Amino acid sequence: MLIFLIGFMGSGKSTTGRLLARDLSFGFADIDNLLEEREGMAVTEIFARKGEEYFRKAESEILDAILGFERTVVACGGGTPCFHDNMRKMKEAGVTVYLKVPPDILARRLSGGGRARPLIAGMKGARLNNHIRRLLAGREGWYRQSDIVFNSAESGTAELFSLLRPYLEQQGR
């Protein structure tokens, strides 16, 4: 059983994923982290030295390896569902969960720094806000194909857990 957490940068995929994995006694896999380990470079460096196309291909290869895992919560990168055949593969292999967060909240979270993100590097204020809205508008169509759309800014992991329960029961966990 695989649970894929999908959503924009700053939507809490890694944090929520770790909590969920702990509560379910599942493993946890973070696509960005696995990619960084494989490449021996940070995501920003991969973008800068090898380009986005290379990054997207590597991201898809990491996903392919994860498809063979069992009982794992997977934190995707913000763009994972929107490239190659990734969304279809994830939907076939497990439960997809969109952590939906309003753009204003994303902008607030992302302007606070945190992990380096090449797609919004050096942006702040209105420019960051507009960029997030534009990027999100182009990605919502992918994100919304998820089995579960979870308003994660308003609800906690207990609610997410109850939405997942039918899927877990169906799989016998």
Q: Cα–Cα distance between 4 and 165 in angstroms, integer?
A: 15
Stretch 39-98 residues interacting with ligand S3P (CB under 6 A): 43, 77-79
CB of 172 to ligand S3P, least distance (A): 30
| Position 34 contacts ligand S3P (CB under 6 A) | no
CB of 150 to ligand S3P, least distance (A): 16
CB of 49 to ligand S3P, least distance (A): 14
Q: Cα–Cα distance between 71 and 166 in angstroms, integer?
A: 15
| Position 103 contacts ligand S3P (CB under 6 A) | no
Binding residue (CB under 6 A) for ligand S3P from 119, 123, 149, 168: 119
Q: Cα–Cα distance between 23 and 100 in angstroms, integer?
A: 21
| Nearest to ligand S3P of 157, 168 (CB atom) | 157
CB of 173 to ligand S3P, least distance (A): 26
User: Residue 71, exposed/middle/buried by CB under 10 A (0-12, 13-18, 19+)?
Assistant: middle
**Total number of residues that touch ligand S3P (CB under 6 A):** 10
Residues 6+ apart with CB under 8 A from 48: 118
| Position 9 contacts ligand S3P (CB under 6 A) | yes
Which listed range, 65-73, 87-95, 114-122, 149-157, lies at the site for ligand S3P (CB under 6 A)?
114-122
Q: Cα–Cα distance between 135 and 125 in angstroms, integer?
A: 16
Residues 6+ apart with CB under 8 A from 53: none
Report angle CA 9, 12, 15 to the nearest 5 degrees: 130
Which residues form the interface with ligand S3P (CB under 6 A)? 9, 13, 32, 43, 77-79, 117-119
